[in-house]
Amino acid sequence: MKKIETLVIRGRRWFQKSYGNTYHTVTVIVNGHILKSSIQYGYGTQYLVTAADLLRENGYNIPENNLEALRTLKELSENDYEAVDVTRKKRFIGGITVNNKYLNFLNWAVFTMIDRKTQDDHKSKIQVCGLFRDPVLAEESFLPHLPNPEVKRYLLHVDDLEQFEEFYNFIQDLNEKYGDYAIFHVKDGDFTTDEENKFRYMLHIWTDTKIRGVDMF
């Protein structure tokens, strides 16, 4: 079992008026790794139960009993957990917020991508290496001194991390499905023009969809 050193939990709830049901997702940042749930049914603090399940599935030491699990999550996160209610499904599925008082101004993340080939769910995932107040500090004082310079590293505002991860997997899906013709399907994704342009710039995707480059935005 993996030990939890740092833990932040962010839930999002969405009430579906047509059926009268409440759904939620949860994002867990554990030891710098980002874990995300699929859409789950449940209101109130059910997102914490989903967070516990997510941590167990990824090999972290969380009690099986839900009451004990919730108590453990609250202790390990030092009460840095919350859920927000959103009115639109798109926002419900969207980004990460980090409200810990020590992290409020650390809005830029340096990260790598864990390739889908190593993941049970066949989804590439973000692994955060560091958080910074501004991108210049990260670019000049952190990135040049990291080991293994051949590893692709990216620099991005924390509000865009989830969408970037989604876009990264979307491009990989296109490559697997369409091969050399994947570039003609980039517009098929549910991304804004700004998001698409930003992420294509970071990944150097112009005339084909081969993922390359190490960039910031």
Going by pLDDT thresholds of 50, 70 and 90, the confidence category of residue 94 is very low
pLDDT per position as a tens digit, 186-203? 999 888 898 999 999 999
Q: Where are the domains of the chain?
A: 7-93, 108-203
Q: Structure pTM?
A: 0.56
Distance CA 38, CA 41 (A): 10
pLDDT per position as a tens digit, 34-63? 898 888 888 889 999 999 999 999 999 999
